[in-house]
């Protein structure tokens, strides 16, 4: 009597995979061809390009020229962090690729107004260092040590002395670098775009605010728009609802409140 083995066929588990296909029935964006081409060819960073297209999606996608768009919405569609989306947005506003008005943002169709810095490299191409036609070092025979000593004793020091009196070349003093020009308007725009949908908008600059902005920038790690934008964004994340009007009195923090030194310190320490 023979022993028969039972063979059980093993079949792979078949999972249902849904194909993702873009379809016009799901919606489409009407955008001027010239504007779209300029966005494609503009010398923008990866995050700037993502945010620029995200703003087009959130405005033209709803047939609007401008709209109130939270940084979290831009971060979600651009697939980057909220802070990076905020920084890229403010950079685009400062370059006038985006326009901001009363808390709303949108693409700037006036392409001639765009101010985009030139790149030092062409695309992503970096030339390799040239190694051809490099002259070989001169390796002439070195005289014996004794002869070298004798020759050294016979050589006179003919190093010319510096001229004195009339005709002398004046000493060139190093040129002092000028302190960078503070962009007060950019700081106010960074506040409006970061917190203007939750706190009162800042509408104008005066001498008091300029002094406060100058002091605030000196207290940051770096006196840059990116640093002050990060500060405003951190305040929005760490501050309690009390500072946004949830206090029974109707009081809310404003631009002047965030320019205070103690507000910056409390934000750093997380004691708001």
Q: Which domains does the chain have, with CATH numbers?
A: 27-113 (1.10.10.10), 184-269 (no CATH)
Interval 193-216: pLDDT, tens: 888 888 999 988 899 999 999 999
pTM of the model: 0.46
In three-state form (DSSP H/G/I as H, E/B as E, the rest C), the secondary structure along the chain is CCCCCCCCCCCCCCCCCCCCCCCHHHCCCCCCHHHHHHHHHCCCCHHHHHHHHHHHHHHHHHCCCCECCCHHHHHHHHCCCHHHHHHHHHHHHHCCCEEEECCEEEECCCHHHCCCCCCCCECCECCCCCCCCCCCCCCCCCCCHHHHHHHHHHCCCCCCCCCCCCCCCCCCCCCCCCCCCCCHHHHHHHHHHHHCCCCCCCCCCCHHHHHHHHHHHHHCCCCCHHHHHHHHHHHHHHCCHHHHCCCCCCCCCCHHHHCCHHHHHHHHHCCC
How much is the average pLDDT of 240-262? 91
pLDDT band per the 50, 70, 90 thresholds, residue 26: confident
């Amino acid at each position: 009597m023979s022993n028969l083995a039972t063979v059980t066929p093993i079949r792979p588990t078949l999972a249902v995979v849904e194909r993702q296909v873009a379809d016009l029935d799901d919606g489409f964006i009407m955008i001027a061809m010239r504007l779209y081409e300029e966005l494609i060819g503009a010398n923008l960073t990866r995050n700037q390009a993502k945010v620029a297209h995200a703003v087009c999606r959130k405005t033209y996608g709803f047939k609007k020229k401008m709209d109130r768009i939270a940084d979290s919405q831009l971060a979600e569609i651009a697939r980057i962090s909220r802070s990076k989306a905020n920084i890229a947005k403010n950079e685009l506003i400062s370059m006038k690729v985006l326009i901001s008005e009363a808390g709303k943002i949108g693409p700037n169709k006036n392409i001639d107004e765009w101010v985009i810095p030139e790149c030092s490299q062409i695309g992503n191409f970096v030339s390799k260092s040239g190694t051809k036609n490099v002259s070989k070092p001169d390796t002439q025979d070195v005289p014996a040590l004794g002869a070298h000593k004798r020759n050294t004793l016979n050589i006179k020091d003919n190093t010319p002395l510096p001229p004195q009196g009339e005709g002398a070349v004046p000493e060139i003093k190093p040129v002092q670098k000028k302190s960078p020009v503070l962009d007060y308007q950019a700081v106010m725009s960074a506040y409006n775009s970061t917190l203007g949908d939750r706190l009162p908008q800042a509408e104008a600059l005066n001498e008091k605010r300029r002094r406060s902005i100058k002091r605030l920038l000196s207290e940051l790690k770096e006196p840059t728009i990116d640093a002050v934008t990060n500060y405003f964004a951190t305040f929005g994340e760490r501050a309690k609802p009390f500072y946004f009007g949830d206090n029974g009195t109707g009081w809310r923090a404003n631009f002047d409140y965030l320019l205070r030194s103690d507000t910056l310190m409390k934000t750093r320490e997380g004691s708001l």
